[in-house]
């Protein structure tokens, strides 16, 4: 593993080369803003080292003219903006999907591929208005400096979002994280932050921005981050016409259970995609299930998670606990993992179920999600 990666001693690495992992779940929801040493790490290749003084961001494609900006020029020419945004990998909760049915050749994420931070930078919309968007432009491509191996091909990591999303005002070109300069492991000198979208669109080590007529042809956009039906396999899949991943689905997860007076204190997180926010979380316990509504520790904000907690009666070992969330468009989570399973293990947002006092696992499957005990 890259010796320059700096994480907490108990950080859980699901893969070491390239490094991918997250913090213990009980600590993940201790704070609204995730400390940098606990912020989940998702990389597809070697982490590049880019000098701040020599860094240049190229803005090209369907703009009035091509620009190159230094970090100093970005900070001086455009108003500094700060946003709170949760990043979540499209593969978050993959382990429970693969426990239902094997998901080959992908990082075996638990429920930890998610974190929340305060990001500092400039508005992408301000940069685009300055550069001048040509009328034909419909998509905006981000290209990172990291070189990755994917399916026998060497390529830089990249992806695109619709131009209308890029111009919404809350997409950031970030050089700061939690009040400090962005670190190398999280994308320094500059990265994109696209709230409400899969983490792959918040491209790190940002090298270039290009305005296009059609979505990016980068391998990680046109091929890797695609969604398929439960009946398709990698050999039968129609990659060209598969669904592009963009906005996240509503999701929730149980992260800790503590002994409390006259019962148990259950804690977790919930998220919504796009411009939606989480409005309700239901926790079920026992068999047959009894439902109770959880209380939130954080305000309802688009693009940011809401941590929740609830007290439930004491349970016997092996009894069921589950959670489902609702967003502001009245979307909720599907009950069964088989309804959302796909061979990439993306966007698993079925109800999260565990059995109290047993290895951390989805109650419908035998394989533990992650080896934590409650």
- Taking only the tens of pLDDT, the chain with its 374 residues reads 787 799 999 999 999 999 999 999 999 999 999 999 999 999 999 999 999 999 999 999 999 999 999 999 999 999 999 999 999 999 999 988 888 898 988 999 999 999 999 999 999 999 999 999 999 999 999 999 999 987 778 899 999 999 999 999 999 999 999 999 999 999 999 999 999 999 999 999 999 999 999 999 999 999 889 999 999 988 888 888 899 999 999 999 999 999 988 899 999 999 999 999 999 999 999 989 999 999 999 999 999 999 999 999 999 999 999 999 999 999 999 998 899 999 999 999 999 999 998 876 554 443 334 333 33
pLDDT at 368: 38
- Answer for the pair 248, 198: CB distance below 8 angstroms, yes or no: yes
Give the Cα separation of 295 and 282 in Å (integer).
Answer: 9
pLDDT at 291: 97
Tokens linked to 310: 């609830």
- Answer for the pair 173, 244: CB distance below 8 angstroms, yes or no: no
Q: How many residues does the chain have?
A: 374
Q: How far is CA 275 from CA 113, 139, 192, 326, 327, in A?
A: 21, 18, 17, 14, 10
pLDDT at 361: 55
Nearest CA-CA partner of 107 in 181, 14, 246? 14
Tokens linked to 170: 């809350």
- Residue environment code for 146-156, b if the CB has 16+ CB neighbours within 10 A, otherwise e: bebeeeeeebb
Q: What is the pTM of this model?
A: 0.94
pLDDT at 153: 80
């Amino acid at each position: 593993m890259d010796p320059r990666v700096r994480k907490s001693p108990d950080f859980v690495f699901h893969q070491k080369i390239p490094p991918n992992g997250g913090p213990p779940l009980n600590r993940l929801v201790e704070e609204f803003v995730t400390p940098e040493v606990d912020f989940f790490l998702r990389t597809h290749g070697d982490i590049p080292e880019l000098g701040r003084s020599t860094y240049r961001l190229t803005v090209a494609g369907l703009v009035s003219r091509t620009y190159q900006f230094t970090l100093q020029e970005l900070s001086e020419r455009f108003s500094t903006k700060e946003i709170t945004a949760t990043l979540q990998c499209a593969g978050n909760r993959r382990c429970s999907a693969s426990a239902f049915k094997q998901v080959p050749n992908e990082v075996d994420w638990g429920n930890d591929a998610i974190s929340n931070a305060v990001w500092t930078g400039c508005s992408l919309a301000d940069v685009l208005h300055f550069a001048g968007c040509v009328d034909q432009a419909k998509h905006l491509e981000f290209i990172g400096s990291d070189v990755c191996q994917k399916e026998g091909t060497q390529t830089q990591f990249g992806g695109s979002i619709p131009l209308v999303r890029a111009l919404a005002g809350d997409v950031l070109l970030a050089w700061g994280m939690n009040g400090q300069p962005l670190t190398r492991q999280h994308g320094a000198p500059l990265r994109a932050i696209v709230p409400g979208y899969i983490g792959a669109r918040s491209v790190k080590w940002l090298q270039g921005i290009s305005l296009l007529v059609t979505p990016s042809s980068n391998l990680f956009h046109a091929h890797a981050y695609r969604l398929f039906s439960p009946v398709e396999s990698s050999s039968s899949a129609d990659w060209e016409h598969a669904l592009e991943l963009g906005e996240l689905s509503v999701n929730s997860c149980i992260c800790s259970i503590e002994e409390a007076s006259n019962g148990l204190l259950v804690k977790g997180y919930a998220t919504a995609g796009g411009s939606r926010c989480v409005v309700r979380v239901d926790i079920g316990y026992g068999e047959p299930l009894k439902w109770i509504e959880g209380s939130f520790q954080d305000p309802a904000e688009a693009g940011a998670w809401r941590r929740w907690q609830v007290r439930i009666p004491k349970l016997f070992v092996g009894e069921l606990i589950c959670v489902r969330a609702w967003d502001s468009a009245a979307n909720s989570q599907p009950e069964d993992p088989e309804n959302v399973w796909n061979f990439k293990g993306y966007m698993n947002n079925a109800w999260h179920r565990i059995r109290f006092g047993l290895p951390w696992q989805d109650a419908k499957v035998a394989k533990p999600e992650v080896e934590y005990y409650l």
